[in-house]
Amino acid sequence: MDFYDVVKNRRSIRGFQSTPIPDEAVRRIAAAVNAAPSACNLQPFAFKLVRNAQLKERLAACCKQPFPATAPAILAVITDPEKAWTRGDGFNSADTDMAIAMEHAILAATAEGLGSCWVCAFDTLRAAEVLGVAAPRRVMALCPLGYPAVPPREFVRKDESQIFEVMD
Ligand SMILES: Cc1cc2nc3c(=O)[nH]c(=O)nc-3n(C[C@H](O)[C@H](O)[C@H](O)COP(=O)(O)O)c2cc1C
């Protein structure tokens, strides 16, 4: 799929078929995550693709919405701010690095014909317990992955001129 088609086709999907994700697709998604840039190339994150039915059920139960439970897998991203770059003014790159890598995963998943949805509305402490994550590491986002069972919502955006300006 052409890159711009991937960008256009990537939409939040909130209902999935139970069909498993092929291993080759998982490998390509992992490689896409590993190719993501990060400040000083520190890669201060860890991704876990939860396929185990019991673990997935417990992770889905941490979410405010029911749809993640329908996915055959949930991708979780964990950050470690202590392993990230910190600028002189205190800015820590962990969240930025994590977001870029997660978007790599999501775009790769789209190229594989998979649906996905960033999920931040979840109980982070409970998710940390499920995944065995201890402070200072944090579970920052979840992303159910699977073949779509429902269409995305209507595409709504600001006018492009409001968010993108060319300054010659
Ligand atoms: C950081 C972040 C957190 C999000 N959290 C949720 C969430 O908890 N639940 C949900 O249904 N969608 C969530 N979304 C999806 C957004 O609602 C969605 O990206 C937005 O409405 C645009 O729609 P689209 O992704 O289909 O283009 C999240 C998206 C981002 C980037």
Using CA positions, which residue lies closest to atom 20 of ligand 1? Answer: 12
Q: Evaluate if pTM is beyond 0.75.
A: yes
> Domains in the chain, please, with CATH?
3-150 (3.40.109.10)
For residue range 91-145, list pLDDT tens digits in order.
Answer: 999 999 999 999 999 999 999 999 999 999 999 999 999 999 999 999 999 999 9
Is the bond preceding 66 in cis, omega lying within 30 degrees of 0? Answer: no
Using CA positions, which residue lies closest to atom 22 of ligand 1? Answer: 12
Ligand 1 mean position to 2 CA, how many Å?
23
Question: Are 105 and 47 spatial neighbours (Cβ–Cβ below 8 Å)?
Answer: yes
Handedness of CA 27, 137, 40, 119 (dihedral sign): positive
